[in-house]
Chains A and B, each alone.
Chain A
Amino acid sequence: MAVRQKSLRVDVLARVEGDGSMVVKIKEGRVTGVSLGIFEPPRFFEGMLRGRRFDEAPDLTARICGICPVAYQLTASLAMEDACGVGVDGALRELRRLIYCGEWIESHALHVTMLHAPDFLGYESGIHLARDHPEIVARGLKLKKAGNDIVRILGGREIHPVNGRVGGFFRAPSPDELAPLTSTLEAALGAALETVRWVAGFTFPEFEQDTTYVALRHPSEYPMTEGRVVSSRGLDISVAEFENAFVEEQVAHSNALHAHMQDGGHYNVGPLARYNLNADRLGPRAREAAREAGLGPVCTNPFRSIVVRAVELVFACEEALRILRDYRKAPPPCIAVVPREGRGRACTEAPRGLLFHRYDLDRDGTIRDARIVPPTSQNLATIEDDLHGFAQAHLGLPTERLQWQCEQVVRNHDPCISCATHFVRIESDRG
């Protein structure tokens, strides 16, 4: 007898950061509902920031995530500098870009090798992959370590680095202190190129989505720390206009807010978005690696995000080496930042995508209000769209196989659920 109704349910998603579940409901040959349930508890960071000093925001927000603390720390710093009417340039800006390279390397290396690649090779986990292919996992961990080394040397420690601050750093390293990173990153670049070749050989489900991609765009750089906010459908705005263009709302099945554009459209941020909007800004080695991997100027198959992430690994290694080559002398570690009343905003490209911070300050620099929009919450609606589309197109698969691949649809986006639950809006009805 044919099964007319079924649900694919995964109560706890594996190989994602944080706690989430997935439900796909199917009835008489149609997908009738999908939900990515986020039950990681909310952590109220925006509330905690109110009443704190402006220069405390980088350290406080870095605690939102153990994998991308640099992204939060730097975005908070940039937003405060915007509020106070200053800008960091020159060698300090390059050092910020270098530590961001470190975060991209360690985050992407972990996700590609241990969290995502097992899906394509039929392994339950990165541990199972390690048992059969220890050399591949060892390569991925060595890459990750290179990224961690950058963050440790520049940031003071690997997790929740302590050296970043509003205005720059507490201490700028000497060229001699950074010198050991050159050989580390040269080896890492080789490992990153091998990683691209490896993942390019995976078998990818045929699945194209007509997604709106959103990322930063810079006049000359592959975006990390600044740029305008652009989309694949023609949006081109300054960071100051972000809150006019994008809206967050609460949904019943999730402790994380969902985001959409003002016209209601869903959108995607992250490596695919960055690549699709900025492939021409990649460095020469990364561009060549992308070409050899069969990537065109645009990639719209979310399963191929693993290839794009690997290409970004090459870029981050290449970019870090460029910065190290050009770093001749430690600059003064920071510029003076005098607090003033006003509003400051910033966007940077966290490993998982666009991250937005906005702060309102009192005259003495006390934070009156804060808003943080992390990449994963911006992607949650798109992930559900992907689940819906993929499941509908593959209903002929055996249930167990379809469920596995639906989980993979989620992992395509490398969700960071801890980031997404930094906030929830509570409304009480006393009527």
Chain B
Amino acid sequence: MEAILAWDGEPIALLDRWDHATEVVVVDATAGCGSPGAIRRFDARRRPLPARFFSLSSHAMGLGETIETARALGRLPASLIVYGIEGADFGFGAGLSPEVARSANRVVDRLSTVVPAR
């Protein structure tokens, strides 16, 4: 795995970013699916993401729709793992809630074993 992106674009544009990648890991927020900070891991090659887990999006096509569009177009990478971290508060304000920040760090620690430091 060669690159880390902080992606603030539309999810659908990820198709172009992972076109030449063999292994992709996406970390995104989930809402309404458990305790704040709960971490879930999905193998998106094996089956679609549960729709209720990734319904947050300010765009018309969220992460789940993006992955299914990629699957329909034959543009899924060889490996696509999605980590969802349950958010605590999606209201106004900046920063992560403490439990979400702790979980984000745990995911980062987990990924740092597979993504070389640069």
* Interface of A toward B, CB cutoff 8 Å: 15-17, 65-67, 110-111, 114-115, 125-127, 130-131, 134, 137-138, 141, 144-145, 148, 157-160, 418
A66 contact from B10, B15, B69, B72, Cβ within 8 A = B10
- B8–A160 CB distance below 8 A: yes
Q: A145-B16, A148-B13, A157-B9 are in contact. Are A66 and B73 (CB under 8 A)?
A: no
CA distance A17 to B65 in the complex (A): 13
Interface majority SS on B: helix, strand, loop or mixed?
loop
Inter-chain CB contacts under 8 Å: number: 59
Contact pick for B9, options A134, A138, A159, CB 8 Å:
A159
> How many B residues touch the partner, as a band?
10 to 19
The CA of A126 and the CA of B8, in the complex, are separated in Å by 23
- Contact (Cβ within 8 A) B72 A130: yes
Query: B61 on the interface (CB 8 Å rule)?
Result: yes
Whole-angstrom CA separation of A110 from B10 in the bound complex? 11
Judging by beta carbons under 8 Å apart, are B68 and A127 in contact? yes
Q: How far is the CA of A114 from the CA of B10 in the complex (A)?
A: 14
Q: A134-B73, A148-B13 are in contact. Are A114 and B68 (CB under 8 A)?
A: no
User: Is B74 engaged at the interface, CB distance under 8 Å to the other chain?
Assistant: yes
* B interface residue numbers (CB < 8 A to A): 8-10, 12-13, 15-16, 57-61, 65, 68-69, 72-74
Q: Which residues of A contact B60 (CB under 8 A)?
A: 15-17, 67, 110-111, 114-115
B58 touching A66, Cβ below 8 Å? yes
A-B contact pairs, 26 of them (CB 8 A): A16-B60, A66-B58, A66-B59, A67-B59, A67-B60, A110-B60, A114-B61, A125-B65, A126-B61, A127-B68, A127-B72, A130-B73, A131-B72, A134-B72, A137-B69, A137-B73, A141-B15, A144-B12, A145-B16, A158-B9, A158-B10, A158-B13, A159-B9, A159-B10, A159-B59, A160-B8
| 5 A-B pairs closest in CB distance | A66-B58, A130-B72, A158-B9, A131-B72, A17-B60
B74: chain A residues within 8 A (beta carbon): 134
